[in-house]
Amino acid sequence: MKSICILRLSAIGDVTHVIPVVLSLQEQLPGVKITWVIGKIEAKLVGDLPGVEFIIFDKKAGREGYAQLRRQMKGRKFDALLHMQVAFRANLAAACIPAKLKIGYDKARSKDLHSMFINRRIAPAPHQHVRDCLASFLEPLGLKAAPPRWKIPLSDSDHEFARAHLAKDRKNLVISPCASHTLRNWPAERYARLADHAIEAHGMKVILVGSPAPFEAEYCAAIENTMKHMAHNICGQDTLKQLTALMTHADLVVAPDTGPAHIASAVGADVLGLFAASNPYRSGPYNSLKWCVNRYPEALKKFTGKSVEEARWGAKAEFEGAMEMVSVADATEMLDRWMQEKD
């Protein structure tokens, strides 16, 4: 096995979970050539991983994106393709990548004609975390599943950015409040109350982060304006690398089911996850499941009539009002528990 192509375009959290696969491949197959076909934004986080060739796929380019991928793949043939994304767009991209072995998902997790673009499947695993699922893509190659180990390259200037925004004399709480799916977002007013509690009860510095998207800027501003105390709002002012550095040095990160929660977990930060619209045991911050507030079972029952056992694994409870089932008390009590353990 001399050359392997990984196809995982998005999203940030899932891409973070591919890092252990890369590290494990390099360890188990020394000298293997790894190519990763990845999305534009996601490459800004992991595109400088050592020993990996990155090919950027611009999903907004339409047909030209596929044509460009075909041109880049001309004359090449990989020993294996790890086709780690079931979306139709990714399936079409897989058709542009020549490989002897095309490994994809088991039947239960396949959709959008995924089965037509693969010739080998990972083993079924009914109740698996996304990270463990992606780690298992190495098994059909006769290798061990990738252990949960991450490394995201950061520069000195990234670390300097982080240190400039963090307090040296007290604990730092980073709040990353926005998910790409708005129905996973907790109300801004509740974040404000949690932040005030962190300051009043524990003397923490609260830092608000988010992308430059207008919605996220407005959300962070709403939290800041509702708070009784002062927050340090740097929404839209950091790059993905600077955010990663910030989380590397932070004491605790608060987030719903969103990419930054997975970045934080990957770099060793504790994450207080807020879950109701999705199942943390499937898509929560891998190393911080004990710190997740989990109202998913109640939300699923309320909005679908099904229990976690009855519903399809991975079923969402993304409904208006689902995240409101996470109370302020749920979050403040979890924060208090975390403080008690860390002090």
Do 124 and 183 sit in the same domain of this protein?
Answer: no
What was the pLDDT predicted at 343?
80
pLDDT in tens, 102-123: 999 999 999 989 999 999 999 9
Contacts of 82 (CB under 8 A, 6+ apart): 4, 5, 6, 7, 8, 21, 103, 137
pTM of the model: 0.97
Cα–Cα distances (Å) from 83 to 37, 94, 117, 181, 337, in that order, read 10, 7, 9, 24, 40
Contacts of 71 (CB under 8 A, 6+ apart): none
Residues of the chain with confidence (pLDDT) below 70: none
Do 110 and 224 sit in the same domain of this protein?
Answer: no
Q: What does the block give as tokens for 44?
A: 């800004």
For the CA atoms of 18, 24, 25, 31, the dihedral, rounded to the nearest 10 degrees, stands at 130
User: What is the residue-averaged pLDDT of the chain?
Assistant: 97
DSSP E strand boundaries for 196-324: 205-208, 232-233, 252-255, 270-275, 293-294
| Domain count across the chain | 2
For residue 132, what is the domain's CATH number? 3.40.50.2000
DSSP E strand boundaries for 172-326: 172-175, 205-208, 232-233, 252-255, 270-275, 293-294
In a domain, 149, yes or no: no
Do 236 and 134 sit in the same domain of this protein?
Answer: no
Q: How far is 86 from 67, CA to CA, in rounded Å?
A: 20
What was the pLDDT predicted at 295?
98
Do 213 and 336 sit in the same domain of this protein?
Answer: yes
In a domain, 326, yes or no: yes
Do 177 and 236 sit in the same domain of this protein?
Answer: yes
Q: How far is 138 from 285, CA to CA, in rounded Å?
A: 22
Domain with 336 in it? 156-342
Cα–Cα distances (Å) from 294 to 83, 159, 254, in that order, read 31, 32, 13
Domain endpoint, select from 90, 106, 141 = 141
Q: Look up tokens 């934080």; give the residue.
A: 264
In a domain, 187, yes or no: yes
